[in-house]
Amino acid sequence: MSEEARLRERICTLARSMFERGLTHGSTGNISARTADGGLLVSPTGTSFGRLDPGRLSRFDAAGRQIGGDKPTKEMPLHGAFYQTRGRTAAVVHLHSCHSVALSALPDADPEDFLPPITPYAFMQLGRVRLLPYFRPGDPAIGEAVRGLAGRRSAVMLANHGPVVAGLDLEGACNAIEELEATARLALLLRGTTPNLLTPAQVDELVRLHDIAWGDA
């Protein structure tokens, strides 16, 4: 099996796993990964994460021209913005995960630091998560908003829509977006209480020890 064939299979396997565990539903969510030649494999528009076909993934060359597969997700401007502004990005995942969307709809959500410091793992995998305002799905303005961050964030939350994570590899991007959803769930479970959160000193230690500068923590 070629390297690209293995990547195609891995994209579909990871997407199906997220779908089967309820991290996205129906035909929501999209995923992309960088190929060895600098191109992209992208989930097609209107497809379910639970039923992606490796042979029908949208294929782009290094110049951004589609050279194979089905019509890509309408969120291509969003994916492209991460690849263009974060040169080390090897994969981008976007979900419509329940708890993170719910947290984004609350009026006291912090745009600069969307996730509260409940556990160390969100910082280690995501850095600070920027909450972006609502955009219509597929709106090219989403890409412009991500470009406006100038590569300083590896993860954003689209208000009333869903999280997006850029990773250094495909598995890392999937793990990180799952951590984002898990942390959002914890935040909702703890709402109305006075939990013991990580202190600024503990957060600073994580940033230093885990080199979280890539995530602009």
Print burial letters for 34-67: b (CB count within 10 Å at least 16), e (below 16). bbeeebbbbbbbebbbbebebeebbbbeeeeebe
Q: What is the DSSP string of 30-49?
A: EEEEE-TTS-EEEPBTT--G
> Which residues, 6+ apart, have CB-to-CB distance to 196 below 8 Å?
none
DSSP H/E element including 201? helix 200-209
Question: Which amino acid is it at 13?
Answer: T
Q: Give the residues across from 89 on adjacent strands.
A: none
Short-list 210, 202, 216, CA closest to 128: 216
Active site residues: 75, 121
Q: What angle do CA 201, 205, 211 make, to 5 degrees?
A: 145
| Residue 120 CB coordination number (10 Å) | 15
Beta bridge partners of 91: 33, 167
Q: Rounded CA gap, 96 and 128, in Å?
A: 19
